[in-house]
Amino acid sequence: MIAFATHVTRTRFRLAKLTASALVFSPLVIDSSEFSRQGRVIEGTVPLAILQRLKHELLDAEGDLSVRLEGWQDNGGKCGLRLAVAGGVRLRCQRCLEGIDLPLDIGSRFQLIRPGEDWPDDDLENDEMDAIAAEKELDVLALIEDEVLLALPIVARHAQCQPPQTAGIDHGSSPFKALAVLKKH
């Protein structure tokens, strides 16, 4: 729990440093039940550079994601969150090792499960809604990052491209460049 708090503080610090006046997504930690019941909304940008797990999957971490988080509650007393993430990321093509741009337009719905409340059965999955624990200190950044990671293809590849070895017949240095890239991983 202490490690978690430290991580959040660091993230906030980085956010403050990265963006001077832009509408930055904040706060990064919410009381999920309260947020939902009050139908609160957070809107803003999240720099790709602060999403550490996602960064490993990207060719570069330049740019921001536009994020909107909204609380909801239905008449039956269920409550949850709606998350929208838009923007784009640049992945590395697994064949030619060049950049491949992936536009993102994610819409996710979550139901909060409070302590003592039953976890829903498979019916919920058909509803395209995930059940998550109603945490008093929900790490919103982790939630955003999880959704973006889920939206990435298992293997990023251009529809048509050549492996770098083939291109290297004309330019002898290309295979070595490719090797250098592979060695980094």
The site for Zn ion (CB under 5 A) is made up of: 93, 95-96, 158, 161
131 neighbors 108 (Cβ within 8 angstroms): no
* Cβ-based nearer residue to Zn ion, 39 or 153: 153
Per DSSP bridges, beta strands 79-92 and 29-30 are: unpaired
Residue 149 C-beta: closest distance to Zn ion, Å: 21
Per DSSP bridges, beta strands 138-139 and 29-30 are: antiparallel
Q: What angle do CA 179, 184, 185 make, to 5 degrees?
A: 105
* Cβ-based nearer residue to Zn ion, 93 or 131: 93
Residue 164 C-beta: closest distance to Zn ion, Å: 9
CA distance 85 to 64: 10
Residue 183 C-beta: closest distance to Zn ion, Å: 19
Residue 94 C-beta: closest distance to Zn ion, Å: 8
Q: Residue 77: what are its φ and ψ, rounded to 5°? A: 95, -5
Q: Is residue 148 classed as helix, strand or coil in its secondary structure? A: helix
* Cβ-based nearer residue to Zn ion, 75 or 185: 185
* Cβ-based nearer residue to Zn ion, 68 or 95: 95
